[in-house]
Amino acid sequence: MKPVLALVGRPNVGKSTLFNRLTKSRDAIVADFAGLTRDRHYGNGRQGKHEYIVIDTGGFEPDAESGIYKEMAKQTRQAVAEADVVIFVVDARGGLSAQDHDIAKYLRRLGKPCILTANKAEGMKEGHQLVDFYELGLGEVYPISAAHGQGIRDLVDLALAPLNLAAPEDEEEGVDIGVTKLAVAGRPNVGKSTLINTWLGEERLVAFDMPGTTRDAISVPFERNGHKFELIDTAGLRRKGKVFEAIEKFSVVKTLQAIETCHVVLLLIDATQGVTDQDAHIAGYILESGRSVVLAINKWDAVDAYQRQLVMRSIETRLAFLKFASMHYISAIKRQGLGPLWASILQAHQAAMCKMSTPVLTRLLLEATAFQSPQRAGMFRPKLRYAHQGGMNPPVIIIHGNSLEHVTEAYKRFLEGRFRKAFNLTGTPLRIQMKSAA
């Protein structure tokens, strides 16, 4: 079954232009006035081995009372219902509008994976002008230019990532990852209990009691979107009846134990505080443990544009070593941005269990060295010959060759980037080891 992507957004933001890009067809008519593409358009698209279906919706008017707008709203809802992933298009130049807010509200309630895309971003300084869009409570904003074809490949990768997890290459076998053990970590007061209670209060998340659960040991199995999760004992939390309660004493040992036991750590950061020393320490433990990680910046509702900039900068500088993790801006209390967390958590677990065959790894390695060869060190030029997988959870790649001790850190990072991209390893640490022959 091909995954379905739905393009949603108010008129004139560039949906039909994007549709054309994604389907490389000329089905949709692009013109410079609002509301021209009124019909739902379906198209086929392909990126690499991955095929998908795109639906272009008319302009979205959630509150339209009558006439064609009402019909458009109905069609849009239908398109969205049929989609696996919603691409919500906003106008990076026109800025945020009331309509964008209405659509965002609708999409948040829907709880489907949703990618917030700021179109017409060609030639814009990165980040700066997009900050406002975080207000929509849908997390990360992805700048693209549909007209100039910028950012489109990454957008498709991102949209398909949670859907095509098992098959980055034909040769690879899908791994049945079983139950995903999840630890929600973070220092006191970041909102761990609020988030967990919000989750457990949702009807779609079926929590059930497991016999033998003691009062101290928290372990809540639940199902979400057909996948089994287990919320494991998390530092500083205690289960009291049906809800979780924060306990005053924060225990590093408990945090470490939780990290060791789980598959994926959801690390919460308090947006009102930025990244503190304690956050950076916990993040360091997670990295050392080799566990997969998803970052969530909580209390996004409580900070203004200026504070948002500060938080984003503190993450860039203090948590730079977690660049491999996906990041979400959320509000546990207002239930904003929570839906996409699940896809990222699942993705992170699957990435950790990724199987990489020797032929594919070796081909990627040789392609990488052909693209850019490692630097000579005096008499020696490192020769990278083949690669194989040395472990899972986290994935380890072992590279064999000669004079590999001269491979620079920068070159290892370059290789890491290529492997990560090819195997879709977002969320998991990746270890690369060099083994020189003699």
Residues making contact with ligand GDP (CB under 6 A): 9, 11-17, 30, 32, 36-37, 119-120, 122, 145-148, 186, 188-194, 236, 246, 298-299, 301-302, 331-333
The SS3 of residue 370 is helix
Cβ closest to ligand GDP, residue 167 vs residue 310: 310
Instruction: In angstroms, give the least distance from the CB of 355 to ligand GDP.
Output: 36
Q: Is 395 annotated as a binding residue?
A: no
Cβ closest to ligand GDP, residue 286 vs residue 360: 286
Instruction: In angstroms, give the least distance from the CB of 296 to ligand GDP.
Output: 10
Angle at 287 between CA 164 and CA 291, to 5 degrees: 45
In this structure, what is the dihedral angle of CA atoms 127, 411, 151, 274, given to the nearest 10 degrees? Answer: -30
Among 322, 353, 320, 326, residue whose Cα is nearest residue 341: 326
Element (H, E) at 224: strand 219-224
DSSP 8-state code for residue 376: P
Q: Determine the residue type at 106.
A: Y
- The DSSP result for 63-81, as a single string, is T--SHHHHHHHHHHHHHHH
Strand partners, 118: 90, 143
Instruction: In angstroms, give the least distance from the CB of 302 to ligand GDP.
Output: 4
Instruction: In angstroms, give the least distance from the CB of 234 to ligand GDP.
Output: 9
Instruction: In angstroms, give the least distance from the CB of 245 to ligand GDP.
Output: 8
Q: Is 60 annotated as a binding residue?
A: yes
Instruction: In angstroms, give the least distance from the CB of 190 to ligand GDP.
Output: 4
Q: Is 193 annotated as a binding residue?
A: yes
Strand partners, 51: 46
Instruction: In angstroms, give the least distance from the CB of 9 to ligand GDP.
Output: 6
Cβ closest to ligand GDP, residue 93 vs residue 224: 93
Cβ closest to ligand GDP, residue 111 vs residue 390: 111
Cβ closest to ligand GDP, residue 235 vs residue 354: 235
Q: Is 12 annotated as a binding residue?
A: yes
Strands (E), 38-188: 41-47, 50-56, 85-91, 114-119, 141-143, 180-185
Q: Is 427 annotated as a binding residue?
A: no
The CA-atom distances, in angstroms, between 425 and each of 65, 167, 346 are 46, 12, 12
Among 385, 372, 352, 354, residue whose Cα is nearest residue 418: 372
Q: Is 211 annotated as a binding residue?
A: no
Q: Is 48 annotated as a binding residue?
A: no
Cα(260)–Cα(64) distance, rounded to whole angstroms? 51
Cβ closest to ligand GDP, residue 97 vs residue 317: 97
341 class by beta-carbon count within 10 Å (0-12 exposed, 13-18 middle, 19+ buried):
buried
Cβ closest to ligand GDP, residue 191 vs residue 382: 191
Q: Is 393 annotated as a binding residue?
A: no
Q: Is 438 annotated as a binding residue?
A: no
Annotated binding site for GTP: 9-16, 56-60, 119-122, 186-193, 233-237, 298-301
